[in-house]
Structure 1
């Protein structure tokens, strides 16, 4: 709760207070909507129906956490010697995903920053280095950075 209160105090848009009355029963609502109703709302019918994209503005400082997310997809990495007397050769297939100001996620083959030290991309020929995996890094609302790494 202390952490949530700290987030609330530092937020540009304070979070409304939660009700303190413990006797309040939660209200459960079942909602269903048909494709026909969605089509009628958009004035479209049949096979020509296309959902209207929703634009979300993440440009305010409250969404720094979302914009800080980076997904590092190392599809292939190797650092090895191809022949007994040959030079070490590095092969890297890497894409980085991130969120823009309008909640759009995009992949790029150009890293927005240097490759993080937590990605285990070795640089020794003996023994050879190989790696495949996905890493996600972020910075939380308190400015602490962290990551999660999955090898495959």
Structure 2
């Protein structure tokens, strides 16, 4: 159901709080994949809860140099996790299934919806076959660093709204007392594709959002500027704008 996620979002904060507070302390960190938490909490506007606070901290840590990573690594959230060989096409409820799944219930399989050639074969560590185990990093490669279900619908626009601007440097200075104003900059932009794949491309200072701070005087006369920062912004499921900036 396309609007299921929207209907369930008001209860996300409560559900996350209950999930966290009802578990023994050592088990809490392993209750769910952190990227499932980031996905849910971001979509709901970062509800006030312990799991969402942890998810947001990880989201920001990933853009804190160095290196700068995709803040949401959706390929690490097994939304297609199921014992079924033909997972449901309902994308929204699979987020909640992945987030609240019982890790002790048994092995889970992931079946990418886009390309049968990238299907991950079931291989699990057991006493009989201890070497048959798919590492998390290898699993991410097999699904080609994208969501393992179809997220092309508008209910997942909040994923594609995420932008990461890495101002690797921006330098402005006057060459001598009567010299020309020298300007140079290297800015790259990270964005998410239709299925959550992440890619970098070159961009410019002028493409930075107005919420970015530190380059307001760029191009005005020639004040001395040396600036480096990473800026991430997004819109949640309801379209509300949010951003974070890390200077370095």
TM range (shorter): 0.5 to 0.7
Mapping of 1:3-152 within 5 angstroms?
Answer: 7-8=6-7, 15=93, 29=104, 33-34=124-125, 36-38=131-133, 53-54=142-143, 56=147, 57-110=150-203, 114-119=207-212, 120-121=214-215, 122-123=217-218, 124=220, 127-152=223-248
Aligned-pair CA distance for 1:118: 2.2
TM-score scaled by structure 2?
Answer: 0.43
| 1:133 CA displacement | 0.8
Judged with a 3 Å threshold, the aligned counterparts in structure 2 of structure 1 residues 118 and 130 are, in CA distance, closer, same or farther, namely farther
Q: If the length of structure 1 is used for normalisation, what is the TM-score?
A: 0.67
Which structure carries more relative contact order (alpha carbon 8 Å, separation 6+)? 1
Q: 1:31 to 1:118 in 2, by over 3 A?
A: same
Which structure carries more strand by proportion?
A: 1
User: Is the alpha carbon distance of 1:28 and 1:96 closer, same or farther for their aligned partners in structure 2, counting shifts above 3 Å?
Assistant: closer
In structure 2, how many angstroms separate the alpha carbons of the residues matched to 1:27 and 1:64? 28
Structure 2: give runs of 5+ residues left out of the alignment: 10-89, 108-123
Q: Whose helix proportion is higher, 1 or 2?
A: 2
Coordinate RMSD, CA, aligned: 3.5
Find runs of 4+ consecutive structure 1 residues off by over 4 angstroms. 12-16
Greater alpha carbon shift after TM alignment, 118-127 vs 131-140: 118-127
